[in-house]
């Protein structure tokens, strides 16, 4: 597949936004059971707005993917069958919840719906946040399933696809949270940093699993099934359009195999070991800069990962275009 | 229920591209048009076509077959492009099984193209909506056209009548009979998309010569005395027999 | 009803008009739908006999030709001081253009008419252009046949009185076995596709003999790869095997060919090799039928077509002691050594395959006989209760023709078809009117230089069919009178002229210099010429006084082809959708097997800009110059315009023969012959633009010898004589030329330098010889054959301007076996040099398993000069596309027979495009990745439409609301 940068930015940006929000809710949940002290002041409000900003940026990026962005509203229509439609619904709901969550925190409006003496889990921010968590995971699944549901794109058609999307989003979100917290609430840095490292390691495991899986894929379609001629030696001589076509542009990454391989190593290095190392160093040295760098590098790595995710997928239609 | 479809006979397709450009000219000025062409007079000209013909070589010299292979939307019974469409612009018609795109609803997200294993859909780079074969839905029901011409443009044009058009759900239709009797097959059956369009394979006519057919009773060489004659002066059995 | 769409059912602004396609030479009937005056749809006309509703890729892309930015729309004059080739023009008016031409041509006609030369391309109006040249009085006229396929026409017509393409073809409806030799898809292509598909569906067996498996060959049941230029050897070996196994149709040969006729074998006689004639002449007959048979029973020579049972083989002695042999015996002797094993070495086809092919042909012909209950009478008065046929048919094209041994190969093919008994019989080869014609046909050129006189029409046709050496168009020294040297001893039977040598000869002044060269619709600065690089220089070359060696060049074309840049005067032609045209019985009509058919074009659109059909130019010029055909005796103009000319022109006053055969007579009541009908065009228009006359069944077969048909044809003036047209297994015509070369034929003698050449190649029986270029080139250095193929979606150079078709073929590759790459150390897709002894070209290679390993090939004429046809300078056609023409010389290397002999068949002058020998090697690392040679960018000329960077063609105004596609 041809990696579409609008989609690469969409998925990485909203993933980080979702992850950041989940990081906030994790702190709130821990705090509510007394495992942590709640950070002071505008911490939640500011970070929620940062998460929202990432989501908005992702949404804006997605519009560049559309031929007719002005009709984007139509795309919620087919939620019964289309994961894309579901994503289109889940994203604004989630954004709304993040906004409300952040706003409530900012305004300090946080009544306990179950009475003043009820446990903190009954507080409005907590409940809104809980809904946000559900929406965030729903969104991860929708996004992942957009790709995971295409059964003949065998590289994508695995539960690992939504799992990877989820873990990458969470890992990058926690890494970001670590960096942001270093500025705003240094006491929580180790908490976030630990989770960030854990999720990054987890993502490494699942992504490695998908890489190994994809390396072993035996593609079900062959040139023989594509044209229905059973013969061991079939060579294409003409593709029907010498100047190229949508089919030759949309489904091919257009780069060499060596380039593809190098991108794999780029993301394997930038997403996993480097951020983990920087996180560890940052935590050790209390360096917000290093932690910020950890996020930045991981994000760049995720861009490469997403590029590779697309480029590695071999669309069966490419069988009809053998001489690209 | 009706399922309109094309049956393409690879046994007679000579790869002339008539279907390709006739489709283009009908549809560019039709309800699916215009079909944009970019760089029409420059480097790497490229445009929207609903149907293309490709060429494959099968086997090694001298046992090579050259196969010309036309391909357009296969109007699957279970089209994977339809459920993924977020807006409902892509749909399959109940009444005749044609898979269509409602341009006014299409947002140009290309997801349906990703979801089609056959590469049958093409985005129009200027109109920014997804386009594909409509089976000339603006011809086949047009009562202002004479009845024999209510067929897709590619079918009308095809000089070798390698393109049959009809209802594959009607067992008595020309297309069903062709599929049944001539080994019609679908493309990439492994995905369960159940393409309605089918392809008919190459078929060979061979000639068997029996040895005795080379020996003829009325060989004209006889008339001219040119069949081998035995020289009576040669050695014969009786020269040495002692019966 | 001409249209099935009645006005009432059409939406507003929509019109439907019938005309005839011209996207290639096939001439299908088309139906054009217009919306608001723009072309909405071009479809095959379902009521047209030729294409029956189908249409090809080219025909379907007519819209993009009509609206192409390559179109010329204004008359242009080369700017004062600008160089030829620079395409620097100023716009002039038609009046000025006509004044320039009139002045110049009037002077030439009054002084030396042969200084005006008119050569035309794929024009389909040779009857008119020929008439113009004849009236001008110049012999220097030809269309493109000489470099197209004259070998096919001449080889077959000199043998069976008809040929493939427009004049005949395989009867695939009834055939059982069909063998196709090297055939491209541009003549009669849609009918052939229709028939081929039906043939296969009906269980026919299709064998393709071709170095390359593309197009039609793709669907063959068997592909027999063969080395280019060796088909003659294969065919002769098949004949060998068929005769050896007795699988020939003896009765057919005896009755309908000269196989049984006796040939003088007295080497001392001046009549050696001539048919023996009876002593008593058929008094008063122009063609006395007094050839002799040998009566086997009575052991004596007798008149042919008597009750006698003639011998086909043997040698005999006449009463006067003359040794004689039947023609067939000479054929048997000729093919004796042409064994399948011999042919295997030459052709690369295994001997076993050759034998099997022969057996398949022979057995099918013998055992699958067709008998139709159609009674007919032969030319000798014998009545037959039925028409019979042997269902083996053939088709061939340039694969045989475009070699310098093509004429003899095609003679061999015609003889193979004849010994199988398949001529004008069901399931075999069928003629199309106005063929069959006498062997050779009657038209003749003048035969001496004195026949060219100022202000006088030529005494004869510019092109004709020599029957013997005295018909040659040579001067008193035996040298060429025509510029192209056609009908000279160098190429005696060059019946279509030799356009491919016209520019070189004019440039060199050999045989003489000319003044004005008028080129219509032929891209002589590019793909229509051999040796393109040099010819472009010749067009631009000046003498020591600084004057162009070819002083004045007029180019008429609809498009900005490469040739336009070299013009001094450019005349913008119309497209086929803007003009009247006729596919005339006087030229190459669209006749069917069952009878004559002709057709017309009627404009569906007004001319673009100031475009004017070339016919109007000719009629205007002819009228201004006072040509007898175009003016009254008082000098006033006879015809208002071209449609008026077509309606009212008669070959002779009162002859009743004109360009169109349909709806003649005052009220349109007559066919083929009759007075001019003022409403003739309307009647064609009402009848799908086609006239089709179906012959009675009894006249549809065996027409060479069918008394009814021959008399019918004579009555309708299709042919002058009713004599039977016997097949020339043995060609007495060729023998006459050979005798002349031997000094044994009274009359014209070849110059001494050419005696051996004539004696060698004018063999009355077919023989195989290696193509001339092969004989003269270093095959160790250049081991490969290079040929072109015609893609089905492009017609020659015409369609690179076509936005839709050029997406299918944007550039070309050199296809070759992977073995060639392995030997040369390069890979699929590499840049390579392909080099002949004449030049070299850099191009992209592509490996293919569908090509004979000794052959490399490419699609013809996809490559373009930079900027030509209004393509951008970086267009694929000029940057990756290439022409093979740069490797092919128009002349052979100097050798014993001459310094500047054409690279052509020595008999017919057919350009030997496919003879070129090449080698292929990898381009050096770091070389530019573009095709070579490259030329200066050609700029658009004034008046060309704008070249858009994208198109969204939609005919007319968009109807308000579109419902299709809407989800309910």
Could you tell me which residues are beta bridge partners of residue C38? C35
Name which of A5, A75, A154, A315 to mutate to probe chain B: the one with the most chain B Cβ atoms within 10 A of its Cβ.
Answer: A75
Using the predicted structure, report yes or no on whether residue C519 has a pLDDT greater than 60.
yes
State whether A228 and B187 contact (CB < 8 Å). yes
Whether residue B241 is contained in a domain is answered as no
- Cβ contacts (< 8 Å) between C808 and chain A: which residues? 240-242
- Cβ contacts (< 8 Å) between B115 and chain A: which residues? 150
How is A33-100 classified by DSSP, letter by letter?
TTSSPPPPTTHHHHHHHHHHHHHHHHHHHHHTT-S-GGGGGGGGTTTTT-HHHHHHHHHHHHHHHHHH
Which domains are seen in chain A, by residue range?
Answer: 5-219+246-320 (1.20.1630.10)
Question: Chain C within 8 Å of A232 (Cβ-Cβ)?
Answer: no
Question: Chain C within 8 Å of B229 (Cβ-Cβ)?
Answer: no
Full domain range(s) for residue B26: 4-200
**Residue B152 Cα distances to B6, C47, C57, angstroms:** 9, 18, 15
User: pLDDT tens-digit profile of C129-180?
Assistant: 999 999 999 999 999 999 988 999 999 999 999 999 889 999 999 999 999 9
Nearest to A240 among B54, B82, B109 (CB): B54
How is C509-573 classified by DSSP, letter by letter?
TSS---SEEEEES--TTTTTSSSHHHHHHHHH-B-TTS-BSS-EEEEEESB--GGGGG-SEEEEP
Q: How far is B5 from chain A (nearest CA, A)?
A: 17
Question: Chain B within 8 Å of A233 (Cβ-Cβ)?
Answer: yes
Nearest residue in B to A62, CA atom: B109
Question: Chain C within 8 Å of B14 (Cβ-Cβ)?
Answer: yes
Whether residue B45 is contained in a domain is answered as yes
H or E segment and range at residue C180: strand C177-181
Nearest to B66 among C218, C879, C962 (CB): C218
Nearest to A239 among B54, B85, B113 (CB): B54
Could you tell me which residues are beta bridge partners of residue B38? B46, C950
Q: Which residues lie below 8 Å from residue A170, measured CB to CB, with a gap of 6+?
A: A18, A19, A22, A199, A203
Using the predicted structure, report yes or no on whether residue A279 has a pLDDT greater than 70.
yes
**Residue A237 Cα distances to A90, C812, C875, C945, angstroms:** 46, 12, 21, 35
The size of the A-C interface in CB pairs under 8 A is 18
- Cβ contacts (< 8 Å) between C849 and chain A: which residues? 233, 235
- Return the partners of chain B (3 or more C-beta pairs < 8 Å): A, C
Using the predicted structure, report yes or no on whether residue C768 has a pLDDT greater than 50.
yes
Are the C-beta atoms of C492 and C466 separated by less than 8 Å? yes
**Residue A35 Cα distances to A29, B177, C151, C718, angstroms:** 9, 75, 99, 111
- Of C769, C764, C906, the C-alpha closest to C415 is C764
H or E segment and range at residue B99: strand B99-101
Using the predicted structure, report yes or no on whether residue C92 has a pLDDT greater than 80.
yes
Neighbour-count burial of C588, counting CB atoms closer than 10 A to its CB (0-12 exposed, 13-18 middle, 19+ buried): buried
Task: Name the residue with tokens 């357009």.
Answer: B72
Using the predicted structure, report yes or no on whether residue C183 has a pLDDT greater than 90.
no
Whether residue B13 is contained in a domain is answered as yes
Q: What are phi and psi of A235, to 5 degrees?
A: -125, 135
Task: Name the residue with tokens 């004005």.
Answer: C516
Read off the tokens for C489: 């001893």
- Cβ contacts (< 8 Å) between A241 and chain C: which residues? 807-808
Instruction: Enumerate long-range contacts of C4-8, CB under 8 Å, 24 or more apart.
Output: C4/B145, C4/B146, C4/B149, C4/C46, C5/B144, C5/B145, C5/B146
Q: How far is A231 from chain C (nearest CA, A)?
A: 14
Question: Chain B within 8 Å of A263 (Cβ-Cβ)?
Answer: no
What's the confidence (pLDDT) of residue C5?
45
What's the confidence (pLDDT) of residue B225?
76
**CATH number (domain holding residue B10):** 3.30.70.20
Whether residue B220 is contained in a domain is answered as no
State whether A242 and C848 contact (CB < 8 Å). no
Whether residue B228 is contained in a domain is answered as no
pLDDT band at C1 (very low <50, low <70, confident <90, very high): very low
- Of B214, B13, B19, the C-alpha closest to B135 is B19
pTM of the model: 0.95
User: pLDDT tens-digit profile of C50-81?
Assistant: 999 999 999 999 999 999 999 999 999 999 99
- Cβ contacts (< 8 Å) between B67 and chain A: which residues? 227, 229
State whether C190 and B159 contact (CB < 8 Å). yes
Q: Inter-axis angle of helices A288-312 and A257-271, to 10 degrees?
A: 150
Across chain B, how many H-helices and E-strands are there?
7, 11
Name which of B9, B23, B33, B45 to mutate to probe chain C: the one with the most chain C Cβ atoms within 10 A of its Cβ.
Answer: B45
Domain count, chain B: 1
| In chain B, residues 49-108 whose CB comes closer than 8 Å to chain C | 49, 57, 59-62, 64-68, 88-89, 91, 100-105
- Cβ contacts (< 8 Å) between C851 and chain A: which residues? none
Q: Give the mean model confidence (pLDDT) for residues C642-655.
A: 95
State whether B28 and C177 contact (CB < 8 Å). no
Whether residue B71 is contained in a domain is answered as yes
State whether C808 and A240 contact (CB < 8 Å). yes
User: pLDDT tens-digit profile of B197-212?
Assistant: 999 999 999 999 998 8
Whether residue B229 is contained in a domain is answered as no
The Cα diameter of chain B in Å comes to 107
- Of A204, A203, A217, the C-alpha closest to A156 is A217
**Whole-angstrom distance, CA of residue C44 vs CA of residue C481:** 45
User: pLDDT tens-digit profile of C952-965?
Assistant: 999 998 766 555 55
Across chain A, mean pLDDT equals 95
Cβ-based interface (< 8 Å): residues of C facing A: 806-811, 846, 848-850, 876
Q: How far is B59 from chain A (nearest CA, A)?
A: 5
Which domains are seen in chain C, by residue range?
Answer: 76-124+446-573 (3.40.50.740), 161-434 (3.40.228.10), 732-764 (no CATH), 776-922 (2.40.40.20)
% of chain B residues with pLDDT over 90: 84
User: pLDDT tens-digit profile of A150-190?
Assistant: 999 999 999 999 999 999 999 999 999 999 999 888 888 99
**Whole-angstrom distance, CA of residue C760 vs CA of residue C729:** 18
**Whole-angstrom distance, CA of residue C622 vs CA of residue C461:** 17
Name which of B114, B130, B189 to mutate to probe chain A: the one with the most chain A Cβ atoms within 10 A of its Cβ.
Answer: B114
User: pLDDT tens-digit profile of C804-814?
Assistant: 999 999 999 99
Using the predicted structure, report yes or no on whether residue B170 has a pLDDT greater than 60.
yes
Q: Give the mean model confidence (pLDDT) for residues B179-189.
A: 97
User: pLDDT tens-digit profile of A136-153?
Assistant: 999 999 999 999 999 999
What's the confidence (pLDDT) of residue C549?
97
**Whole-angstrom distance, CA of residue A17 vs CA of residue A95:** 9
- Cβ contacts (< 8 Å) between C811 and chain A: which residues? 242
Are the C-beta atoms of B101 and B110 separated by less than 8 Å? no
**Whole-angstrom distance, CA of residue C215 vs CA of residue C793:** 10
Question: Chain B within 8 Å of A6 (Cβ-Cβ)?
Answer: no
User: pLDDT tens-digit profile of C806-842?
Assistant: 999 999 999 999 999 999 999 999 999 999 999 999 9
Q: Give the mean model confidence (pLDDT) for residues C679-685.
A: 97
Using the predicted structure, report yes or no on whether residue C351 has a pLDDT greater than 70.
yes
Interface predicted TM-score (ipTM): 0.94
Nearest to C808 among A233, A237, A241 (CB): A241
Beta strand extents in chain A (DSSP E only): 234-238
What's the confidence (pLDDT) of residue A154?
97
What's the confidence (pLDDT) of residue A118?
85
% of chain B residues with pLDDT over 70: 98
What's the confidence (pLDDT) of residue A36?
86
**Whole-angstrom distance, CA of residue C26 vs CA of residue C51:** 9
% of chain C residues with pLDDT over 70: 97
Whether residue B100 is contained in a domain is answered as yes
What's the confidence (pLDDT) of residue C3?
44
């Amino acid at each position: 597949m041809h990696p579409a940068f609008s989609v690469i930015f969409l998925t990485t940006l909203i993933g980080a936004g979702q992850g950041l929000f989940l990081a906030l809710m994790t702190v709130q949940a821990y705090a509510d059971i007394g495992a942590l002290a709640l950070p002071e002041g505008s911490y939640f409000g500011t970070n929620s707005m940062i998460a929202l900003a990432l989501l908005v940026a992702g949404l804006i990026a997605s519009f560049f993917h559309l031929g007719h962005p002005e009709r984007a509203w139509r795309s919620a229509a087919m939620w019964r069958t289309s994961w894309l439609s579901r994503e289109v619904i889940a994203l604004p709901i989630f954004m709304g919840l993040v906004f409300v969550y952040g706003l409530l925190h900012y305004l300090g409006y946080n009544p306990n719906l179950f009475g003043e003496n009820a446990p903190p889990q009954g507080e409005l921010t907590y409940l809104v946040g809980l809904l946000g968590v559900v929406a965030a995971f729903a969104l991860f699944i929708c996004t992942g399933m957009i790709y995971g549901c295409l059964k003949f794109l065998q590289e994508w058609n695995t539960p690992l696809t939504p799992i990877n999307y989820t873990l990458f989003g969470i890992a990058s979100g926690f890494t970001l949270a670590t960096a942001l917290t270093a500025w705003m609430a240094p006491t929580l840095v180790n908490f976030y940093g630990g989770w960030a490292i854990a999720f990054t390691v987890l993502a490494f495991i699942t992504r490695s699993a998908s890489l190994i899986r994809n390396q072993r894929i035996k593609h079900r379609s062959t040139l023989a099934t594509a044209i229905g001629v059973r013969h061991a030696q079939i060579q294409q001589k003409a593709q029907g359009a010498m100047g190229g076509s949508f089919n030759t542009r949309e489904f091919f990454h257009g780069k060499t195999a060596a380039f593809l391989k190098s991108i794999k190593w780029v993301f394997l290095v930038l997403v996993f070991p480097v951020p983990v190392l920087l996180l560890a160093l940052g935590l050790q040295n209390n360096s917000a800069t290093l932690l910020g760098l950890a996020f930045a590098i991981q994000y760049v790595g995720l861009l490469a990962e997403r590029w590779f995710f697309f480029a590695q997928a071999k669309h069966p239609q490419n069988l009809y275009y053998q001489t690209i | 229920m009706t399922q309109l479809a094309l049956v393409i006979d690879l046994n007679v397709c000579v790869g002339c591209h008539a279907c390709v450009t006739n489709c283009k000219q009908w549809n560019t000025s039709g309800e699916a048009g215009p079909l944009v062409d970019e760089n029409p007079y420059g480097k790497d000209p490229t445009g929207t076509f609903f149907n293309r013909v490709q060429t494959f070589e099968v086997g090694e010299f001298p046992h090579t077959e050259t196969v010309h292979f036309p391909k357009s939307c296969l109007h699957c019974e279970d089209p994977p492009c339809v459920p993924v469409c977020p807006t409902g612009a892509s749909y399959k018609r109940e009444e005749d099984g044609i898979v269509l795109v409602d341009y006014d609803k299409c947002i140009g997200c290309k997801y349906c193209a990703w979801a089609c294993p056959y590469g049958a859909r093409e985005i129009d780079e200027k109109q920014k909506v997804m386009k594909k074969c409509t089976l000339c839905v603006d011809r086949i029901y047009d009562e202002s056209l004479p009845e024999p011409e209510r067929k897709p443009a590619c079918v009308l044009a095809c000089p070798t009548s390698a393109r049959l058009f009809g209802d594959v759900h009607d067992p008595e239709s020309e297309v069903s009979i062709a599929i049944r009797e001539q080994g019609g097959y679908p493309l990439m059956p492994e995905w369960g998309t159940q393409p309605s369009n089918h392809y008919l394979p190459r078929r060979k006519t061979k000639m068997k010569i029996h040895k005795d057919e080379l020996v003829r009773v009325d060989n004209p060489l006889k008339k001219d005395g040119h069949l081998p004659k035995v020289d009576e002066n040669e050695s014969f059995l009786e020269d040495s027999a002692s019966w | 009803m001409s249209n099935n769409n009645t006005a009432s059912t059409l939406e507003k602004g929509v019109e439907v008009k019938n005309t005839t396609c011209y996207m290639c030479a096939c001439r299908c009937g088309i139906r054009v739908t217009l919306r608001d005056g723009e072309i909405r749809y071009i479809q095959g006309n379902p009521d047209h006999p030729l294409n029956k509703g189908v249409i090809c890729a080219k025909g379907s892309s007519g819209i993009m030709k009509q609206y192409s930015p390559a179109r010329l729309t204004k008359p242009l004059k080369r700017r004062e001081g600008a160089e030829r080739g620079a395409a620097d023009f100023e716009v002039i008016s038609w009046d000025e253009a006509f004044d320039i031409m009139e002045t110049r041509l009037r002077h030439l006609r009054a002084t030396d008419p042969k200084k005006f030369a008119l050569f035309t391309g794929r024009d389909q109006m040779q009857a008119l252009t020929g008439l113009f040249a004849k009236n001008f009085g110049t012999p220097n006229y030809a269309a493109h046949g000489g470099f197209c396929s004259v070998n096919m026409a001449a080889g077959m017509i000199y043998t069976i009185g008809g040929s493939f393409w427009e004049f005949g073809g395989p009867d695939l409806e009834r055939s059982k076995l069909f063998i196709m030799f090297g055939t491209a898809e541009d003549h009669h292509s849609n009918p052939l596709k229709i028939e081929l598909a039906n043939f296969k569906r009906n269980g026919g067996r299709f064998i393709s003999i071709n170095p390359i498996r593309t197009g039609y060959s793709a669907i063959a049941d068997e592909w027999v790869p063969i080395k280019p230029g060796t088909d003659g050897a294969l065919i002769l070996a098949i004949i060998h095997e068929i005769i050896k196994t007795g699988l020939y149709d003896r009765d057919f040969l005896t009755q309908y060919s000269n196989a049984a006729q006796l040939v003088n074998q007295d080497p001392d006689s001046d009549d050696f090799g001539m048919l023996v004639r009876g002593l008593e002449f058929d008094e008063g007959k122009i063609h006395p039928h007094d050839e002799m048979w040998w009566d086997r029973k009575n052991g004596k020579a007798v008149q042919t077509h008597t009750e006698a049972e003639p011998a086909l083989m043997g040698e005999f002695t006449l009463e006067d002691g003359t040794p004689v042999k039947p023609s067939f015996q000479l054929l048997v002797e000729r093919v004796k050594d042409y064994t399948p094993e011999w042919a295997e070495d030459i052709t690369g086809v295994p001997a076993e395959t050759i034998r099997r092919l022969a057996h398949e042909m022979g057995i099918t012909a013998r055992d699958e006989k067709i008998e139709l209950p159609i009674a007919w009478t032969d030319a000798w008065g014998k009545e037959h209760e039925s028409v019979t046929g042997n269902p083996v048919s053939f088709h061939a094209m340039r694969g045989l023709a475009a070699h310098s041994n093509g004429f003899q190969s095609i003679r061999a093919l015609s003889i193979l078809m004849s010994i199988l008994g398949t001529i004008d019989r069901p399931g075999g080869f069928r003629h199309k009117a106005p063929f069959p014609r006498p062997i050779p046909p009657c038209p003749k050129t003048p035969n001496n230089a004195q026949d060219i006189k100022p202000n006088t029409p030529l005494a004869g046709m510019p092109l004709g069919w020599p029957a013997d050496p005295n018909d040659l168009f040579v001067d008193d020294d035996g040298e060429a009178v025509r510029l192209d040297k056609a009908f000279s001893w160098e190429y005696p039977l060059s019946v279509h002229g030799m356009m491919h040598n016209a520019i070189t000869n004019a440039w060199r002044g050999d045989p003489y210099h000319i003044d004005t060269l008028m080129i219509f619709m032929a891209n002589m600065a590019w793909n229509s010429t051999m040796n393109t690089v040099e010819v472009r220089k010749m067009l631009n070359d000046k003498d020591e006084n600084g004057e162009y060696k070819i002083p004045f060049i007029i180019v008429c074309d609809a498009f900005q082809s490469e040739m336009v840049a070299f013009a001094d005067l450019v005349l913008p032609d119309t497209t086929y959708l803007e003009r009247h045209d006729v596919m005339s019985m006087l030229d190459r009509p669209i006749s069917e097997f069952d009878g004559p058919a002709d057709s017309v074009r009627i404009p569906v659109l007004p001319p673009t800009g100031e475009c004017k059909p070339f016919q109007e130019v000719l009629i205007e010029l002819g009228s201004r110059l006072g040509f007898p055909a175009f003016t009254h005796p008082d000098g006033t103009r006879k015809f208002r315009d071209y449609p008026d000319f077509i309606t009212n022109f008669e070959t002779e006053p009162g002859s009743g023969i004109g360009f169109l055969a349909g709806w003649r007579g005052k009220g349109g009541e007559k066919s083929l012959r009759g007075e001019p009908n003022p409403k003739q065009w309307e009647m064609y228009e009402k009848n799908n633009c086609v006239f089709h006359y179906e012959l009675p069944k009894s006249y549809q077969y065996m027409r060479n010898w069918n008394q009814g048909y021959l008399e019918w044809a004579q009555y309708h003036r299709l042919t002058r004589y009713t004599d039977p047209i016997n097949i020339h297994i043995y060609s007495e015509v060729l023998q006459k030329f050979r005798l002349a070369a031997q000094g044994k034929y009274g009359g014209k003698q070849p110059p001494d330098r050419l005696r051996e050449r004539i004696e060698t190649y004018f063999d009355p029986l077919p023989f195989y010889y290696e193509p001339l270029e092969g004989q003269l080139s270093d095959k160790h250095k250049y081991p490969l054959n290079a040929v072109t193929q015609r893609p089905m979606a492009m017609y020659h150079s015409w369609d690179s301007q076509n936005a839709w078709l050029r997406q299918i073929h944007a550039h070309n590759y050199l296809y070759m076996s992977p073995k060639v790459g392995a030997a040369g150390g390069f890979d699929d897709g590499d840049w390579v040099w392909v080099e002949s002894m004449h030049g070299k070209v850099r191009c992209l290679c592509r490996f293919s398993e569908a090509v004979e390993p000794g052959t490399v090939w490419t699609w013809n004429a996809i490559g373009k000069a930079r900027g030509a046809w209004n393509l951008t300078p970086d267009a694929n056609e000029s940057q990756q596309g290439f022409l093979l023409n740069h490797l092919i010389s128009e002349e052979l290397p100097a050798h014993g027979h001459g310094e500047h002999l054409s690279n052509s068949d020595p008999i017919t002058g057919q350009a030997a495009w496919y003879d070129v020998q090449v080698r292929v090697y990898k381009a050096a690392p770091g070389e530019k990745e573009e095709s070579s040679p490259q030329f200066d960018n050609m700029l658009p000329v004034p008046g060309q439409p704008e070249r858009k960077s994208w198109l969204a063609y939609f005919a007319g105004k968009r109807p308000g609301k579109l419902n299709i596609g809407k989800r309910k």
